[in-house]
Amino acid sequence: MSDSDRDESGPGRIGRTLGRLVDASAVERILISLAALALSVVVGALVVLVSGFILSPCASSPFLATGFGDFCYDPLEVYWVLLQGAFGSTFNLAITLKETTLLVFTGLSVAVAFRAGMFNIGTQGQLVLGALATGLAVLWVAPFVPAGLVGGVVLMGVGLLAGAVVGGVWGAIPGALKAYADANEVITTIMLNFVATGLAFTLVSEVFKDPESQTVQTRSVPGNAEFPPSLLEVQDFSIFVLVGAILLAVGIFWLLRGTTFGYDLRTSGEQPEAAEYGGVDSKRMMVSSMALSGALGGIGGAVYVLMVAGYWQSGIPDLGFDGITVSILAGNNPIGVLPAALLFGALKGGSLAIEFDLAVPKELVGVLRGLVILFVAMPEFFRMIGARYGYGGDDYAVAADGSGADDASDADTDSEPDDASETDGETSQIDDSGLEDGGDGR
């Protein structure tokens, strides 16, 4: 088969498509995401129409007067209510920003692990234990600090630190199991979610339960330990925490891009063999990256206690699992986590308005949310696959930005043969790690 025939085959076309996704610029990726978002809205509108047609006849159809047909749901009204529910009032905007703030922490948690080549599905467990540690630490320290602003700042700091430490320790466990026992981190993190939830529930129900409550929860933290509502004057949202989340995302971006630790973390995840060759301790990096990921999840749990609930309670929302979607939407970029979290927060806030204001089943609302997430996430998902398997980019190996793996062309390989290959009459080959076989003179 000729090269031209091979290029026109199915696998060849798929490879070229993946290569174009990997090589897409930031502007092109934004345009692709916007196009995917628009397409998801169109498909969602069709789903709403079809669902309304199946339900017909209904008491009031928005299309009866036009003679268009007996459809029970108006897609334009559904999307308008969703938009209004997310941003239409001060209260709705605060709800959206509250969800966004929480999802920034869990999205960053998953993104850090992804960049290190680890799939952390255990952010939910790290968040749950971090939230419990925050509540207990604040209650323990509260009697020893003064009341008022100064004492509140101390308690907030203690709570955030406790959540980060406990979440980090819980995250380091699957990292160590992966590094030293070759245990699959997907399995261990899933299992540790159940362990974390059961452990927290047992501790609170048997030891730390609020005696005045019928539900499984701790006592409420002091009022001065909670982040104060600001600007939007909604009790369970603080603009200060949102600003802190944004600064944290910028800090994580700088950590990954501008420090030796971040470079080692990215190269060990994207090119482990090359990282080992360069002197990086990949085992230590596995543990460190998962500890950092867990600490971010634990901080998310601390924020949930100190900004939203005011105490630890059973049945904490699945913010950790939502963080996986946020990270994929963001392409595992810490800065990209911010708009991804805002989109997801708007969908969650707007979906509540649809359920309350329109006679639309919540299952259909979930389908609309899922379509938006699916369409927007798929291009980045396939881009990650392409980068993982070396498609695109001539200078992909251990690049300064750590963005992928080497996919050097055959022409470049043939133009600079290794000395040993000239002697033996063999051409050197580039293995998956980006290192030349025979380059060490063997």
149 CB-contact burial (10 Å; exposed 0-12 / middle 13-18 / buried 19+): exposed
Q: Of how many residues is the chain composed?
A: 442
Q: Is the pLDDT of residue 309 over 70?
A: yes
One-letter amino acid for residue 65 of the chain: A
CA distance 63 to 70: 6
Q: Are 323 and 301 in contact (CB under 8 A)?
A: no
What number of CA atoms fall less than 13 Å from residue 269's CA on the CB side? 30
User: pLDDT value at position 71?
Assistant: 66
User: pLDDT value at position 393?
Assistant: 64
Structural domain spans, the chain: 18-80, 86-357
Q: Are 344 and 373 in contact (CB under 8 A)?
A: yes
Among residues 35, 89, 106, 170, the alpha carbon closest in space to that of 344 is found at 106
Average pLDDT over the chain, rounded to an integer: 80
Q: Which residues contact 424 (CB under 8 A, 6 or more apart)?
A: none
Q: Alpha-carbon dihedral of residues 62, 64, 69, 71, nearest 10 degrees? A: 30
Average confidence (pLDDT) over 257-283 = 81
| Two tokens, residue 197 | 């939830």
CA distance 370 to 326: 12
Q: Are 380 and 329 in contact (CB under 8 A)?
A: yes
- pLDDT tens digits, one per residue of 210-246: 999 889 999 999 989 999 877 666 778 889 999 999 9
Average confidence (pLDDT) over 276-296 = 88
Read off the DSSP letter of residue 118: -
Q: Where are the alpha helices (DSSP H) in 281-361?
A: 282-303, 319-329, 337-357
One-letter amino acid for residue 412 of the chain: D
- pLDDT tens digits, one per residue of 191-210: 999 999 999 999 999 999 99
Average confidence (pLDDT) over 359-370 = 80
* pTM, entire model: 0.79
One-letter amino acid for residue 142 of the chain: A
Give 437's pLDDT tier (boundaries 50, 70, 90): very low
Give 436's pLDDT tier (boundaries 50, 70, 90): very low
Q: Under CATH, which number does the domain 86-357 receive?
A: 1.10.3470
- pLDDT tens digits, one per residue of 340-353: 999 989 988 888 88
Average confidence (pLDDT) over 122-141 = 96
| Two tokens, residue 405 | 């793996």
